[in-house]
Amino acid sequence: MTREQAIERISKLGAVTVARGATEHEAAAARDRAARLVERFGLGAPVRVSRPAVAGYASAARTDRRSSRSLRFVAFG
């Protein structure tokens, strides 16, 4: 799936609401799926940094694609 396809799918999932005839469970499932796509493709809100000196570094950081259920422990030596 490309980034453009993900954006299109997120917009379609956003249209699944109780007001438009979906059940509460269907609407919740659509919101969850859309949130996972946003996280996967890094389509969240842009990073806002109050210090311009680190703005380039903060915007260049890649998103963490690991599962939220996995725990990684790092030992510093």
**Any domain includes 7:** yes
**Any domain includes 14:** yes
Compute the distance between CA of residue 59 and CA of residue 57 in angstroms, rounded to an integer: 6
Q: H-type helices in 15-74, by residue range?
A: 24-41, 55-60
**Any domain includes 70:** no
Domain of 29 in residue numbering reads as 3-53
**Any domain includes 75:** no
**Domain count along the chain:** 1
Is pLDDT above 60 for 74? Answer: no
pLDDT at 63: 60
Q: What is the pLDDT of residues 9-61, one digit of tens each?
A: 999 999 999 999 999 999 999 999 999 999 898 887 654 545 655 555 555 65
Residue type, 45: A
**Any domain includes 71:** no
Instruction: Please tell me the pTM assigned to this model.
Output: 0.56
**Any domain includes 69:** no
